[in-house]
Structure 1
Amino acid sequence: MLIDAHCHLDFPDFDADREAVIARARAEGVGHFVVPGTTRKRWPDVLALGERDDVSVCLGLHPYFMDEHHDADLEALEEALDANPGVVAVGECGIDARIEKSWNAQWHTFDAQLRIAKARQLPVVIHCVQANDKVAKRLRQLDLPVGGLIHAFAGSPEQAQKFLDLGFVLGLGGAVTHDRAKRLHRAVKSLPDDGYVLETDSPDMPLAGHQGQRNEPVNVAEVCRVVAEIRDQSSERVAADSTATARRLFPLLV
Structure 2
Amino acid sequence: MFFDFHHHFRGRECGIYNLDFTEEISENYFSVGLHPNKIDENYRQNLDKIKEISQRPNCLAIGECGLDGLVSVDESLQEQIFEQQIFWANEIQKPVIVHCVRRFSQLLRFQKIAKVPLIVHGFNKKRETAEELLSKGFYLSFGKALLYNLSLQETARDIPLDRIFLETDTAEEPIDEVYLKLAEIKEIPIEVLKTEIYKNVQQVLKYEI
TM-score tier (shorter): 0.7 to 0.9
Shift of 1:86: 3.8
Shift of 1:186: 2.5
How many Å separate the matches in 2 of 1:90 and 1:69?
19
How many Å separate the matches in 1 of 2:150 and 2:48?
42
Equivalent in the alignment of 2:128: 158
- For residue 197 of structure 1, what is the amino acid of its counterpart? F
Query: Any residues of structure 2 matched to 1:84-95 within 5 Å, and which?
Result: 84-95=56-67
- For residue 237 of structure 1, what is the amino acid of its counterpart? V
Fraction of identical pairs, as percent: 26
Shift of 1:130: 1.9
Q: What SS does structure 2 have at the residue aligned with 1:197?
A: strand
How many Å separate the matches in 2 of 1:252 and 1:57?
13
Match of 2:49 among 47, 59, 76: 76
**What stretches of structure 1 of length at least 5 have no aligned partner?**
11-17, 23-30, 51-55, 207-214
What TM-score comes out, normalization by structure 2 length? 0.88
Match of 1:49 among 22, 27, 30: 27
How many Å separate the matches in 2 of 1:122 and 1:49?
18
How many Å separate the matches in 2 of 1:224 and 1:80?
31
**Contact in 2 for aligned 1:176/1:185 (Cα 8 Å):** yes
Query: Any residues of structure 2 matched to 1:61-210 within 5 Å, and which?
Result: 61-67=34-40, 70-82=43-55, 84-140=56-112, 142=113, 144-178=114-148, 181-201=149-169, 204=170, 206=171
Matched, 1:251 2:203: no
Matched, 1:222 2:177: yes
What TM-score comes out, normalization by structure 1 length? 0.74
- For residue 3 of structure 1, what is the amino acid of its counterpart? F
Equivalent in the alignment of 1:25: none
- For residue 58 of structure 1, what is the amino acid of its counterpart? S
Q: What SS does structure 1 have at the residue aligned with 2:14?
A: strand
Shift of 1:196: 0.4
**What stretches of structure 2 of length at least 5 have no aligned partner?**
none
How many Å separate the matches in 2 of 1:183 and 1:69?
40
Matched, 1:32 2:14: yes
CA RMSD of aligned residues (A): 2.2
- Which deviations, in whole Å up to 9, do the C-alpha atoms of 1:132-172 show, x marking residues without a partner? 221112223x1x12213111111222322333333332111
- For residue 22 of structure 2, what is the amino acid of its counterpart? K
Shift of 1:79: 2.9
Q: Which structure has the higher relative contact order (CA within 8 Å, separation 6+)?
A: 1
